Structure 1
């Protein structure tokens, strides 16, 4: 399990490196040529130099006049129409089912893998559905990864977000009812479908951004990183003979990714709740990036999303946090000369695993977002929202469900806040809070309250390097209905200091 997450972190880090290399490797002669040369079609509107380089490459490759504007993709969908390959998509979707089923049947000889058509018929009854007993990381990480294979089987073959989402839900349903002899699992259906759509569209967007780098960059390097990010899309590019080439669909991508990789030390305490006097020091690293396909493009799902990965030694697990927050839809309410206010519907995936507790959940929130600007280099962004926890997995020290499940499943209410203050484009102050209350559906009767808050200051030292200092407090309260089970309150206070490297591509 850890190796999959490490691989995910690796390709994200590599994508930063390769993509930046691709942008930086454009020759100065080419840039001067673009600066001094008028476009063949004067209707072309350019944004920044990156847009000029990109548009020049498209015009040079086609050797024809065009009225296409890179910046237009911020306002409307100008993606070229891709041909749909249904039979290939269906084959890859089927292989995502057949390969793991065959591995379970012929390699590991899992007793649940001896399936028959009668199993599929029996599993069509609503009463056949149940909750499974898999380990926490299997349900919260493996199943979303499996779901993104269903998603990208169709997404990389010309189908849109909604069609690919339907394929993901269907893939999860078929696996649960026909892939194993055990009862179809409710939590697996949710984790594979919901998590698979989030991870699938995210990897689709990131790989497209990587492949959009100009033909003067490291094309093979970009292809390799994009293949790691989105294996299904990389396979299809090989089958289509597009490996190492610039194609129309990827070349018009105008998205921007702002990324930061930072590493340092942290101090925490999961026993006494006092990390200053009782805590221990460990290594800490983090990767964060924001994806945007336009400053205020809120109509298309995933035109904006945020990803956070945190790792560190000394904890019970190496992977400490995975958070994905993705835009589904939004609308601007009103704006003034110095501020904008709008509402957004967001999908969230949260995974915490530390010495105090573990927690995994999918939720949907509606947020009020306000942006304030003062002069050129100062801004304040705030968002507050609430919504539903679709499904959360939380520890239960008194439960052993089946062979290995020591946690409850529940649903409830999610509420969040985030504020960012940027001063002179040099100092960034951030406050982030994620809270929730949820009630057990599967497990011992109980309810839980989550608090996860962090404050951080980041000072840009020179160029892309910054000094970061943060402090946070995570807590999980478990309250059980049965008096024989004691309630618990687990705390995880921490402080961190790190050096960050920032990049935008």
Structure 2
């Protein structure tokens, strides 16, 4: 891929903010002015409500794959001559184009209003559970608040999906209230932590949970920013009537925190400009459906075959786009499996936090970046969920036309991971908690965003802080192929192997292996 297309975004004017302009940042020396290389470095719902959030998460995944993307009309390497002129923003608030080469000043930050909205959201959720649903855990009082403030943190025993799926989603609600009030990724992080801490202390009569705060806060950043970007692609501040209503409702279902904030501030019906950054330079969604054969880790036998549906998206390309803010480039992949008691088999998101160019040649590049990862694996008896960050080396070599080879080496620091194990007297959850370190190698041959052949290898060591007295080694390997057949249709398959070695002092390893094989039809 030799050329990158930046689709012309909507004009940026905003009558609700100061309309001062600032010059576009100067392109760094050694980079090309067309933006094709060289990037400046970027300096709960409680566990008891897991089913409601599970349904919400399903809606999120389906909407994310279904709605039309602004930038999907052109591939990443479309010639610059194919760019369409920038559409004018509709509405009375923006009548003239912004001067070429200039951008609007960043939005005002409303920190106290954001904190008030987070508090109101927590109060509303608590009120529903206390007075309508009559939940015992919602019976709080000044006495329970005092005990929670002075009693310290514990590790709760909620189910895996509640802690590793529901809590990050809930954290995304806090996060998006902050983002919609003008806070950046880094500025919204403390607000997400405060929202989680507020709920743990004042929203339940259970002792505050350390794993809940970590999963809600850190997981909420990754899940929340993905939802913020996707809902931005749906919203159009210049639309009116039924179109405006449909967009606001769809974005609110996808991103409840942002939808709540827009209603509170009146933005849901105020006509104005659509910010330039809401339109990504590159975006692609894809899906697959097929047959999955899964091994039985406990019995060593082949399990029943199942229907599997996969959804994925790619937002931004770090090799051809100008990188300015965290998650300007991110990817999401999810697998939905039809089986009793489970619907989400695997989900992962990775967002680029910062990047700089190390080597730039006509046909190949090497970048140094930092990523945030959210991982969720739930395949029967094998469960792993983790919040982690990495330092990464990214490599791209252009072969011919749009065909290229890409590779990445990630050195991860795992803030907190949950790993399934056998329940014991000290751990009724059925999984352990702890931090760790890991390394991941990824390589693929394809044409962005389509990977024709790929391989992923990952190894992590997790030190148990709460659970059975053992540490864990986690290994995951995956080979996959997705061959174009006709236009956007492809045929492919993948082979995965999950292995967990539980380490106990003076004892042999207790390995558990779960192989998976699938064939599928894909559409891009």
Normalised TM-score (structure 1):
0.82
Give the match for residue 469 of structure 1. 493
CA distance in 2, matches of 1:50, 1:222: 28
Unaligned runs of 5+ in 2: 1-49
Residue in structure 2 matched with residue 442 of structure 1 by the alignment: 466
What runs of 5+ residues in structure 1 fail to find an aligned partner?
A: 25-45, 70-76
Shift in Å, 1:429? 0.7
More helix by share: 1
Residue 335 of structure 1 is aligned with which of 360, 376, 380? 360
Deviation, 1:65, is: 4.4
2:285 aligned with 1:262: no
Q: How does 1:100-179 map to 2 (within 5 A)?
A: 100-125=125-150, 128-179=152-203
- Displacement of 1:20 in angstroms is 4.8
- 1:301 lines up with 2:329 in the alignment: no
1:496 aligns to what?
518
What displacement does 1:388 show? Answer: 1.4
> In the alignment, does 2:444 pair up with 1:412?
no
Indicate conservation of the 8 Å contact 1:9/1:309, yes or no: no
Give per-residue Cα distances to partners, 1:398-450, cap 9 Å, x unaligned. 42557x52221111112111111127998711112232111110112101111
The alpha carbon displacement at 1:240 in A equals 5.2
Q: Against the structure 1 CA distance between its residues 446 and 271, is the aligned structure 2 distance closer, same or farther, given a 3 Å change threshold?
A: closer
The answer to whether 1:358 aligns with 2:390 is no
Separation in 1, partners of 2:142, 2:448:
65
1:185 partnered with 2:205: no
Change (3 A) 1:273 1:444: closer
Give distance in 2, aligned partners of 1:267 and 1:175.
41
Which residue of structure 1 aligns with residue 306 of structure 2?
282
- Residues 440 and 182 of structure 1: is their aligned pair in 2 closer, same or farther, counting only changes over 3 Å? same
Aligned pairs for 1:315-326 (under 5 A) are: 317-326=342-351
Residues 309 and 111 (structure 1 numbering): CA distance in 2 closer, same or farther, change over 3 Å?
A: same
**Which residue of 387, 393, 405 corresponds with 2:412?**
387
Work out the CA distance in 2 between the residues paired with 1:10 and 1:333: 40
Range with greater deviation from structure 2 (428-437 or 212-221): 212-221
From the superposition, tell whether residues 374 and 87 of structure 1 become closer, same or farther in structure 2 (CA, over 3 Å).
same
1:254 Cα deviation from its structure 2 partner:
3.2
Counterpart Cα distance in 1 of 2:195 and 2:237: 33
> Structure 1 pair 169/11, CA: closer, same or farther in 2 (3 Å)?
closer
- Of the structure 1 ranges 152-161 and 312-321, higher mean CA displacement relative to structure 2 is found in 312-321
SS at match of 1:429: strand
1:418/1:371 Cα in 2 relative to 1: closer, same or farther (>3 Å)?
same
Please tell me whether the aligned partners of residues 427 and 458 of structure 1 are also in contact (alpha carbons under 8 angstroms): yes
Q: Distance in 1 between matches of 2:239 and 2:486?
A: 30
Alignment-derived partner of residue 225 in structure 1:
250
> Is 2:115–2:191's contact at 8 Å kept on the other side of the alignment?
no
Equivalent position to 2:373, from 348, 372, 379: 348
- Aligned with 1:19 (options 68, 84, 88): 68
More RCO (CA 8 Å, sep 6+) = 2
Distance, in Å, in 2 between the alignment partners of 1:372 and 1:414 is 26
Contact 1:378 1:425 in 2 (8 A): no
Do the aligned partners of residues 315 and 498 (structure 1) sit closer, same or farther apart at CA in structure 2, a change above 3 Å counting?
A: farther
SS in 2 for 1:466: strand
RMSD: 3.4
Please give the per-residue CA displacement for 1:239-259, whole angstroms capped at 9, x wherever unaligned: 555547764343553313211
Alpha-carbon distance between aligned partners in 2 of 1:259 and 1:189, rounded to the nearest angstrom = 32
2:44 alignment counterpart: none
Give the distance between the partners of 2:58 and 2:271, measured in 1 at CA: 26
Aligned match of 1:430: 454
Q: Aligned to 2:354, what secondary structure does the other structure show?
A: strand
Residue 362 of structure 1: CA displacement? 0.9
* Contact 1:79/1:249 (8 A) holds in 2: no
2:114 matched to 1:66? Answer: no
Name the residue aligned to 1:32.
none
Deviation at 1:187, TM superposition (A): 0.8
Residue pair 2:172, 2:257 contacting (<8 A) in 1 also: no
How many Å apart are 1:193 and its aligned residue? Answer: 0.5
Paired with 1:400 and 1:91, the residues of 2 have a C-alpha distance of: 42
Quote the Cα distance in structure 2 between the aligned partners of 1:493 and 1:192.
Answer: 30
Verify the 8 A CA contact 1:330 1:345 in the aligned structure 2.
yes
Moved more, 296-305 or 346-355: 296-305
User: 487-496 or 144-153: which moved more?
Assistant: 487-496
State the 1:48 CA deviation: 5.4
